[in-house]
């Protein structure tokens, strides 16, 4: 069983999907820690309801990004976290975390990368008038939404589809694709470990 930390900033719908997949026996992992950068984020209560440790911090309380990341790494290492899963975490990672977990940090983004990086990707794509929208799961590096793509899934933007319709479709894909991709990723990594 792989130990993971989930980083989030909001309602935690992807946290829900990952935890449900674990509880259903589809994902051989355990969420050891939920890291949150907003004290009013709904995901905190969701984690507590599942008896999962949380580390909630205010970035403004630290002099630099590396200062709070050092604390995050310490909290992860205490719990033997092997992988970091970003699920609606709205901060670009610094060297501290990237170096502590090389090729072990993944993110989900609501666009078909490399198009529409950054904030409000759904709005960007929708207002651009694209005919295909979708979700990308990628490794995290120092560039915003710039790491190697692991998985993507798309859908046709139909005539008359509203921004809200597109958002619903994106979330539906996210909640199925993220746990499924994590399962494959962690299984492959386990296989590689047993060979070496």
Measured CA distances, 181 to 6, 12, 37, 101, 113 (Å): 15, 18, 25, 18, 16
Does residue 163 carry a catalytic annotation? no
Residue 80 marked ligand-binding = no
Residue 12 marked ligand-binding = yes
Residue 92 marked ligand-binding = yes
Residue 107 marked ligand-binding = yes
Burial of 194 (0-12, 13-18, 19+ CB in 10 A): exposed
Catalytic residue, chosen from 109, 127, 163, 171, is 109
Residue 65 marked ligand-binding = yes
Measured CA distances, 3 to 85, 99, 109 (Å): 11, 18, 22
List the catalytic residues.
Answer: 109
Residue list, annotated binding site? 12-14, 65, 90-93, 107
Residue list, annotated binding site for (6R)-10-formyltetrahydrofolate? 65, 90-93, 107
């Amino acid at each position: 069983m792989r130990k993971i930390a989930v980083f989030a900033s909001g309602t935690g719908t992807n946290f829900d999907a990952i935890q449900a997949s674990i509880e259903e026996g589809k994902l051989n992992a355990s969420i050891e820690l939920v890291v949150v950068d907003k004290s009013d984020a709904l995901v905190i209560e969701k984690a507590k309801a599942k008896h999962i440790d949380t580390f909630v911090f205010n970035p403004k309380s630290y002099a630099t990004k590396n200062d709070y990341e050092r604390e995050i790494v310490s909290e992860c290492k205490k719990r033997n976290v092997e992988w970091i899963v970003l699920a609606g975490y709205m901060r670009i990672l610094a060297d501290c975390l990237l170096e502590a977990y090389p090729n072990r940090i993944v993110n989900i983004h609501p666009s078909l990368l490399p198009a529409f990086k950054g904030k409000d990707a759904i709005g960007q794509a929708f207002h651009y008038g694209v005919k295909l929208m979708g979700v990308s799961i990628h490794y995290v590096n120092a560039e915003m939404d710039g790491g190697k793509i692991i998985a993507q899934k798309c859908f046709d933007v139909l005539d008359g589809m509203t921004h809200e319709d597109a958002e619903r479709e994106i979330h539906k894909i996210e909640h199925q694709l993220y746990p499924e991709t994590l399962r494959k990723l962690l299984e492959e990594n386990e296989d590689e470990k047993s060979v070496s």
